[in-house]
Homo-oligomer: A and B are copies of this chain.
Amino acid sequence: MLIVMKNKATKTQIKSVVKAIEKLSLKAEQLPGAQRTAIGVTGNKDYIDQGRILNFPGVKEIIHVTKKYKLVSREFKPQNSKVRINKDITFGGKAPVIIAGPCSIESYEQLLEIARKVKALGADMLRGGAYKPRTSPYSFQGLEEEGLEIMSKVSKKIGIPTISEITSTDQLDLFKKHTDMIQIGARNMHNFDLLKKVAKLDKPILLKRGMSATMEEFLLAAEYILNEGNPNVVLCERGIRTFEQSTRNILDLNTVALIKEESHLPIIVDPSHAAGRYDLVAPLAKAGLAVGADGLIVEVHNDPKNALSDGGQSLTFDSFKSLIKEL
């Protein structure tokens, strides 16, 4: 941590900051510059949470050097982590993992048809929403428990592992029973209560980035899970919110590339939610893998024109087929 003093800060003011630092058993080293003095703080093992030092007279600003995250960082664990779903499917392994399926589970027949088809076309896992976090209370909210049961049956029948999004701690038992991997959605990335409780289920977790979460906040959300003793976290970039609204969210591949350096966790991309329209899904999927992502999660629907949610961004079987071929 570096404490930058105002250029008119008095010696007494500097001293009182130094004393406050030393009271925390840290070392404070003065760096007198031409314009002002800065105070370098060392000796800390972790991030120092000292916003209050701003209140000392003469302090201009505080600059943090130590990152807040630890367990997720590559400095803590240099080699890539692998998150294993079963003997054939591992995130962070050699081949990218492809997750496909409908936005919402609508019926047993629908999910069965989609699961059979996407598996045949090369998907490794089946996605499908049972509880839908919708911005409007009047939108279709999902089949809920029934949806998870359908997913479980389809999974057994077809032999494909599953993932679905949890939205409340009330659903913990159901997800434990019915799914192979649990998704925490963008809107709940900052729901720390949910993060901690899902972490304890001891299932692999797909953690989506909040739509305006910084890289540091995203990694800290994963840190909450690792800190509960669950190392099986796969990150997912799904587009961030910016001034540009020609497409729904901007897929942030800068941060995917940087996370591959900063963290040992696998990370995949979701081109469907980033694009918001089916015709941009394939190019963004290819870009995601080109930048180094460990997999994809894409929406595929048997009949997008009649989908109960997000039809506009779902691939048909044909377009999913040609995407897989191009990859």
Determine whether the beta carbon of A258 is less than 8 Å from that of B242. no
Q: How far is the CA of A139 from the CA of B258 in the complex (A)?
A: 25
- The answer to whether A254 touches B280, judged by C-beta atoms less than 8 angstroms apart, is yes
Establish whether residues B312 and A55, one from each chain, have CB atoms under 8 Å apart when the complex forms.
Answer: yes
Taking A33-B44, A65-B2, A136-B223 as contacts, is the C-beta distance between A246 and B214 under 8 angstroms? yes
Interface size class, chain A: 35 or more
A165 proximal to B (CB < 8 A): no
Q: Which residues of chain B have C-beta atoms less than 8 A from A20's C-beta?
A: 305
Question: Copy number of this protein in the oligomer?
Answer: 4
| A246, B258: Cβ atoms closer than 8 Å | yes
> In the complex, what residues of B have CB within 8 A of residue A163's CB?
none
C-alpha gap A222/B246 in the complex (Å): 17
Residue of B nearest to A69 (CB): B136
Partner of A33, one of B43, B75, B240, B260: B43
Q: How far is the CA of A8 from the CA of B239 in the complex (A)?
A: 31
Chain B residues near A66 (CB-CB < 8 A): 33, 35
Contact at A257–B242, with CB atoms within 8 Å? no
Q: Which residues of B contact A193 (CB under 8 A)?
A: 167-168, 170
Contact between B250 and A138 (Cβ–Cβ < 8 Å)? no
Would you call B38 and A40 a contact (CB within 8 A)? yes
Residues of B within 8 A of A278 (CB): 54-55
CB–CB B65/A4 < 8 A: yes
Chain B: minimal CB distance from A326 (Å): 10
* A323 on the B face (CB < 8 A): no
Interface bits A241-264 vs B (CB < 8 Å: 1, else 0): 111111101111111011011000
What are 26 A-to-B residue pairs whose CB atoms are below 8 Å? Answer: A20-B305, A33-B43, A34-B44, A40-B40, A50-B311, A51-B311, A52-B306, A52-B311, A54-B277, A54-B311, A55-B311, A55-B314, A68-B135, A69-B136, A70-B138, A187-B191, A187-B192, A216-B246, A242-B243, A244-B252, A246-B255, A250-B250, A250-B252, A251-B254, A254-B275, A257-B284
| A interface residues (Cβ-Cβ under 8 A, vs B) | 2, 4, 6-8, 20, 29, 31-35, 38, 40, 42-47, 49-56, 62-63, 65-66, 68-70, 75, 133-140, 167-170, 187-188, 190-194, 211-212, 214-217, 220, 223-224, 227, 239-247, 249-255, 257-258, 260-261, 274-275, 277-280, 283-284, 286-292, 304-307, 309-314
